[in-house]
Amino acid sequence: MIGFICNPNQWPVDDYGAPVLNSTSDAVLYAHIIQSFQWRQFQLDHLISKFDDDFNELIGSKDPDLDKLAQLAFRIQFYRECIEEVKMITKED
């Protein structure tokens, strides 16, 4: 789990600028950080769509790279968990 961060600009990102979420706890923490940053939520929605497309493209290939498939699947799941947490937070407010 990533240490105490209170600004989304401090969150680690990958080479493409996508937030690095390594666990459900990271997803929940990131959700609490970005709940008031609408554009960050939009970014996650966009990343989910992009990684879904990449995942489906790999699934359809003749010899899919299973490591890359697993990485994409985890990444998509953590982003979805983050979005769901943001929705729960805003619903409670």
Is 32 in contact with 84 (CB distance < 8 Å)? no
Q: According to the model, what pLDDT value does residue 36 have?
A: 79
How confident is the model at residue 15, as a pLDDT? 84
Rg (CA), the chain: 14
Given this model, what pLDDT does residue 32 score? 85
Question: pTM of the prediction?
Answer: 0.76
- According to the model, what pLDDT value does residue 3 have? 59
Residue 67: predicted pLDDT: 92
pLDDT given for residue 87 in this prediction: 87
DSSP the chain: ------SGGGS-B-TTS-B---SHHHHHHHHHHHTT-HHHHHHHHHHHHHHHHHHHHHHHSSS--HHHHHHHHHHHHHHHHHHHHHHHHHHH-
Mean pLDDT by 10 residues, the chain (93 residues): 71 85 88 83 86 90 90 90 88 73
Integer Cα distance of 51 and 41 in angstroms: 15
